[in-house]
Amino acid sequence: MKLTNILPFVAVVAALPAASNDVVPRASISKVDGLKFNIDGVTKYYAGTNSYWIPFLTNDNDVDTIMSHLKTSGHKILRIWGFNDAKSNPGGNTVYFQLFSGTSATINTGANGLQRLDAVVKAAEKHGIKLIINFVNNWTDYGGMAAYFSACGVTSNAQWYAAAKCQTMYQNYVKTVVNRYRTSTAVFAWELANEPRCNGCATSVLTAWVRKTSDYVRSLDADHMITLGDEGFGLAGDGSYPYQFSEGLDFAANLALPNISFGTFHLYPSAWGVSNDFGNGWVQAHAKVCQQVGKPCLFEEYGVTDKAQHCSVESGWQKTSLGLKDAGMAGDTFWQLGDTANGQKTHDDGHTIYYGSSDWTCLVTDHIKRIG
């Protein structure tokens, strides 16, 4: 079922599995409404940001304060890592969510495990922030697919997508997380992976995996949106590297899958060997596909490496995206949020926009005003 076609309250409740006692109030579920998102009953263009690190903080007050900053700034969507895959126990109270050892995986539900994600979900509920919760990384940061490799008997991401044992382990993790927050109104969407790629593979490999995985998530949760978390590669455009299908992605084919609710794409011109000006066409090209497929697009990560250009270049992309709010673009979430935690500034990877800075005024305060 496409969440676009939300039925009246009674009909939807009747359609839920008979055994479901945990019915979530429909009005508070974030959902697709045409080519836009509806959050807490309001359909419009939405803005937000990314914080891969917030579930790894160990102090609840920090988490709460940061969420309150997002709220007062007018942000609604926060994308986070819902994974932290370790190959050895980091020790102390260092946070990890899943530990691979030998041929098995153990999910850490302890105080330095999923209880940290609980704190994020709780603070998001309190401040009305909606979370995109991601299940696994393509890259090795915080483990990623590579953390599964030796336990499930593969040596590459390409094999990981198709190997039964890897997928059983991954689905077990997905199920644990989805069941934990299944009834939370703070869930914006479940996200299958961060920047999944399958270099040199036929695009059918990833499309088959996206279909299988999105169907699986839908079998666990009839309510929340589901998205992929890809960079948006593989679509018609100027023929430069990002438009090509060589990373194993076909944007339109994956978006069209029945249990994928909306499209995601990222933008890092310097990493991709294109100019910053390339960005506007990239946003337009995705909006066009989203319009054709009939599902909203989220401009999910974007950044320039030159700090002096954060405001000028990124606000230009924001304006392009917002300008397409009636033509496929439903929101944008820049990479990445910066704030203070544990008395220190959070991770500065060169793309960080700190709360209270002049770049924050430019990319958050002014953008939120324009959105209205």
How far apart (Å, rounded) are the C-alpha atoms in residues 33 and 42? Answer: 10
How far apart (Å, rounded) are the C-alpha atoms in residues 209 and 260? Answer: 12
Q: Which residue number, 196 or 279, has a Cβ lying nearer to ligand NAG? A: 196
Tokens of 265: 């794409």
301 is catalytic: yes
SS3 content of the chain, % helix, strand, coil (to 5): 40, 20, 40
Pairing state between β 344-345 and 340-341: antiparallel
Q: Which of 260, 329, 326 is nearest to 290 (CA)?
A: 329
Pairing state between β 31-33 and 263-267: unpaired
Q: Which residue number, 108 or 157, has a Cβ lying nearer to ligand NAG? A: 157
Binding status of residue 261 toward ligand NAG by CB under 6 A:
no
Give CA separation, 15 vs 3, 32, 38, 185, 344, in Å.
13, 18, 21, 19, 49
Q: Among residues 146, 178, 249, 287, which is the contact residue for ligand NAG, using CB under 6 A?
A: 146
Cβ 248 to ligand NAG, closest distance in Å? 7
Q: Which x/- pattern, by CB under 6 A, does the window 262-291 give for ligand NAG?
A: ------------------------------
Cβ 224 to ligand NAG, closest distance in Å? 13
Q: Which residues contact 72 (CB under 8 A, 6 or more apart)?
A: none
Cβ 241 to ligand NAG, closest distance in Å? 13
Binding status of residue 157 toward ligand NAG by CB under 6 A:
yes
Question: Helix, strand, or coil here: 161?
Answer: helix
Tokens of 132: 């995109």
Q: Whose structure tokens read 């599995």?
A: 17
Q: Among residues 82, 144, 263, 331, which is the contact residue for ligand NAG, using CB under 6 A?
A: 144
Stretch that binds ligand NAG, among 83-91, 134-142, 173-181, 267-275 (CB under 6 A): 134-142
> Is residue 328 within 8 Å of residue 44, measured between CB atoms?
no
Q: Among residues 259, 261, 321, 336, which is the contact residue for ligand NAG, using CB under 6 A?
A: 259
Scored b (16 or more CB within 10 A) or e, 253-273 reads bbbbbebbbbbbbbbbbeebe
Q: Among residues 60, 64, 118, 215, which is the contact residue for ligand NAG, using CB under 6 A?
A: 215
Q: Which of 103, 211, 198, 188 is nearest to 148 (CA)?
A: 103
Binding status of residue 110 toward ligand NAG by CB under 6 A:
no
Q: Where are the alpha helices (DSSP H) in 89-229?
A: 114-127, 145-152, 157-162, 164-181, 203-220
Q: Which residue number, 46 or 97, has a Cβ lying nearer to ligand NAG? A: 97
Binding status of residue 249 toward ligand NAG by CB under 6 A:
no
Cβ 173 to ligand NAG, closest distance in Å? 17
Torsion of CA 325, 314, 265, 345, to 10 degrees: -120
Q: Which residue number, 252 or 371, has a Cβ lying nearer to ligand NAG? A: 252
Fill in the DSSP letter of residue 3: G
Residue of 125, 231, 301, 314 marked active site: 301
Q: Which residues contact 302 (CB under 8 A, 6 or more apart)?
A: 266, 267, 268, 279, 314, 317, 332, 334, 335
Binding status of residue 9 toward ligand NAG by CB under 6 A:
no
Binding status of residue 202 toward ligand NAG by CB under 6 A:
no
Q: Among residues 31, 36, 130, 197, which is the contact residue for ligand NAG, using CB under 6 A?
A: 197
Cβ 236 to ligand NAG, closest distance in Å? 21
Binding status of residue 218 toward ligand NAG by CB under 6 A:
yes
Residue of 191, 195, 231, 300 marked active site: 195
Binding status of residue 199 toward ligand NAG by CB under 6 A:
yes
Q: Among residues 72, 115, 140, 155, which is the contact residue for ligand NAG, using CB under 6 A?
A: 140
191 is catalytic: no
Binding status of residue 258 toward ligand NAG by CB under 6 A:
yes
Cβ 25 to ligand NAG, closest distance in Å? 22
Binding residues for ligand NAG (CB under 6 A)? 138-140, 144, 146, 157, 197-199, 215, 218-219, 247, 258-259
Catalytic residue numbers? 195, 301
